[in-house]
Structure 1
Amino acid sequence: MKTTKSKTKATKQITEQDSAKLKELFVDGLKDIYWAEKNLAKALVKLSKNATSEELKSAFELHTEQTQQHAATLEQVFEIVGEKAQAKKCAAMEGLIEEANEIIESTEKGTMVRDCGLIMAAQKVEHYEIASYGTLRNIARTLGYEEAATLLQQTLDQEGETDHILTELAESYVNEEASAE
């Protein structure tokens, strides 16, 4: 019986009131990730300056540029849904950036151990962004904002690529060299 009730709820028509509540949640999520992207762009500069390997520095520099573009893309999404682009402090990103700063403070400059820690911190950020963009894309689709969903998917794809690059760096040499220090 529970299955039938769940299916009934899942397939019911979205009312205007439901849609307004969902849009409010969606816009709140956009504000959150907008703040996250703007602050991450600054943090990535610091990560790049503190990375040991040139490959990791380059990855952080590339992602800094992408992150700035992500903020611009979010501004487009706000426009599509008829809202002003505003940032709302993202406690999760603030904590993740602080964690990255702690890794910098607690590891020795010029070591692969630091790079390993920076990759760990950066991947936590990527996974947060992947979860955020995936959820926002799904809500955009539900609300009928297909153009916004497409833009959010493009950013989601880029976040996934960045996560993959970080994994490749860790697995190809960073972790191994860190273990030998």
Structure 2
Amino acid sequence: MATKSKATNKITGSDSDKLKELFVDGLKDIYWAEKNLAKALTKLSKSATSEELKAAFEQHTTETEEHAARLEQIFELVGEKAQAKKCAAMEGLIEEANEIVSSTDKGTMVRDCGLIMAAQKVEHYEIASYGTLRNIARTLGHADVADLLQQTLDQEGETDHKLTALAETYVNEEASAE
């Protein structure tokens, strides 16, 4: 059984191997999510009505590509090959976004409202994933990895706030008038 050293607050023993395995599995999952989200964001950008939402999706596409590259760096830092594992949660969230596109009228703010809703669900999933991975990295003694994960977590939070601002500034109001 693993013990926790009070001096270092790190897990030691065989359970740390299990925790690292869980951590790497989580990295593989979010790596798949980021790779597939980058493709989906391009479609969402093309489907958006407002120029501000299109620009937000385009900016986040660039950031998402950076997140994938940062994950590749993290894999290297923990001595693992960058490898994706299908993320069922992200697959479902992307499918839900696609359903919003197909079930709303092109050129409407109702569609934009739905796209913001779908995108925020994605952001909240990513925020939960990156926050948990950051905490596990700290527990495993990878402060450098935790810092990189925090950078991504900060960007995901900023994106969520931008989406909220778009919704509250005018998208929801205009959608209610359609």
For the superposition of Structure 1 and Structure 2, which TM-score range results when normalised by the shorter chain?
over 0.9
1:63 aligned partner, one-letter code: H
2:136 maps to 1:139: yes
Within the alignment, does 1:98 sit opposite 2:95 as a pair? yes
Secondary structure of 1:34's counterpart equals helix
* Pairs aligned (count): 174
Alpha-carbon deviations, 1:5-59, whole Å to 9, x = none? xxx9997973320110000000000000000000000000000000000000000
Flag the 1:9–1:17 CA change in 2: closer, same or farther, 3 A. closer
Higher helix residue share = 1
Q: Any conservation in 1 of the 2:4–2:12 contact (CA below 8 Å)?
A: no
**CA distance change for structure 1 residues 131 and 179 in 2, over 3 Å: closer, same or farther?**
same
Aligned partner of residue 87 in structure 1, secondary structure: coil
Return 5+ residue gaps in structure 1 as ranges.
1-7
Partner SS state of residue 11, structure 2 = coil
The residue correspondences of 1:7-156 to structure 2 (distance < 5 A) are 14-156=11-153
Name structure 2 gaps, 5 residues minimum: none
Percent of aligned positions that are identical: 83
Distance in 2 separating the partners of 1:117 and 1:46: 14
Task: Work out the CA distance in 2 between the residues paired with 1:81 and 1:148.
Answer: 8
Question: What amino acid is aligned across from residue 57 of structure 2 in structure 1?
Answer: F
CA distance in 1, matches of 2:13, 2:30: 25
Root-mean-square deviation over aligned CA pairs: 1.6
Q: In structure 2, what is the Cα distance between the partners aligned to 1:149 and 1:42? A: 26
State the 4+ residue runs in structure 1 displaced beyond 6 angstroms. Answer: 8-13
